[in-house]
Amino acid sequence: MNWEKLLVVTPEVEHALADGQAVVALESTIIAHGMPYPKNIETALRVEARIREEGAIPATIAIMDGHLRVGLTQAELEIFGRQGENAAKVSRRDIPFVLARKQNGATTVASTMIIAAMAGIKIFATGGIGGVHRGAMTTLDISADLQELAQTSVAVISAGAKSILDLGLTLEYLETHGVPVIGYQTDHFPAFYTSSSGLGVDYRMDEPEEIAEALHYKWGMGLIGGALIANPIPEEYSLSPAAIEAKIEAALSEAHAQKIMGKALTPFLLSRIESLTEGDSLAANIELVLNNARLGAQIAVELAKKEEN
């Protein structure tokens, strides 16, 4: 088999990459598993539009019909939006099996990074990364996203890690594996729904150009691996830390009682938190994704300029 034929890139994205234009990867799990229909499709289209407004090309990534797809049409986005949790949730370990079964697969942070790197895309904007789950010292529940950041050369722009996680241990894991955590215009690691977790970052950088310069040095020197650019949710959409923590604890208790774990845990928690906050968490989620798309596009544009020289 010609394995390169598994990778199908839309003409727009292919031409942009060939011409050295800025391209930003987007995941599809946030569409299928992260938000209800039709908000998921509305948000996906708004995110792609935000990236275009900043001068970059969006490339939503998924698995369809036995192919690794880089760039989706609106009709294909609609398929994932309607299919929802019936679409396979695909991390690194799942890719070959979903391909072999010709299933529709919604890519997580880890699998999106892998496919983006295969296509030559270096910047990826998402909502929040996975990490070390609370209680991981007994459950060993650690997201594959963290290991992917250590070994795949794609920079991820996110609103920190999802606040349902143990953020301290998540940062320790990233430090151990040499993944730099950059705070965009902040000294503090954001906590998804809230702008600060009270924990620090490795470096504060206040301009997209500065971040692109550091990435240009990192990869130009052959330093393999990604970087996490932590972009706080805009303050006007940030939720109360105490209030959201109470909702998270309640959702975690329900998950424990129902024995929900593994890849089903995060979608369950996000759904329950949305219900418990009467939709406030979903509104915050949408705004932080849009904010990350904007910054991701700005960094991609600056990185493209540096790689042109």
Q: What is the model's pLDDT at position 246?
A: 84
**What's the gap between Cα 234 and its chain centre?**
17
Q: In angstroms, what CA-CA distances link 66 with 3, 125, 244, 301?
A: 11, 25, 40, 32
Q: Which of 48, 89, 122, 162 is catalytic?
A: 162
Span 36-70, pLDDT tens digits: 899 999 999 999 999 999 999 999 999 999 999 99
Tally the domains of the chain: 1
How far apart are the C-alpha atoms of 243 and 226, rounded to whole Å? 33
7, 13 Cβ separation under 8 angstroms: no
The dihedrals phi and psi of 69, each to the nearest 5 degrees, come to -100, 130
Q: What is the model's pLDDT at position 163?
A: 78
- Annotated active-site residue 27? The verdict is yes
pTM to 2 decimal places: 0.93
CATH number at residue 216: 3.40.1790.10
How far apart are the C-alpha atoms of 228 and 224, rounded to whole Å? 14
pLDDT tens track, the chain, 309 positions:
677 789 999 999 999 999 999 999 999 999 999 888 999 999 999 999 999 999 999 999 999 999 999 999 999 999 999 999 999 999 999 999 999 999 999 999 999 999 999 999 999 999 999 999 888 877 788 999 999 999 999 999 999 987 788 999 999 999 999 999 999 999 999 999 899 999 999 999 999 999 999 999 999 999 999 999 999 999 999 888 888 888 878 887 888 889 887 777 777 877 888 788 767 888 889 999 999 999 999 999 999 999 987
Span 118-137, pLDDT tens digits: 999 999 999 999 999 888 87
- Annotated active-site residue 210? The verdict is no
229, 24 Cβ separation under 8 angstroms: no
Q: What is the model's pLDDT at position 1?
A: 62
Nearest one of 226, 243, 106, 91 to 163, comparing CA atoms: 243
Q: In angstroms, what CA-CA distances link 53 with 7, 11, 19, 48, 288?
A: 27, 20, 19, 9, 17
How far apart are the C-alpha atoms of 138 and 132, rounded to whole Å? 12
Please give the structure tokens belonging to residue 195: 């702008």
Q: What is the model's pLDDT at position 167?
A: 94
- What is residue 87's DSSP assignment? S
Q: What is the model's pLDDT at position 266?
A: 74
Segment (H or E) for 182: strand 181-184
- Domain span including residue 303: 3-308
- What is residue 142's DSSP assignment? B
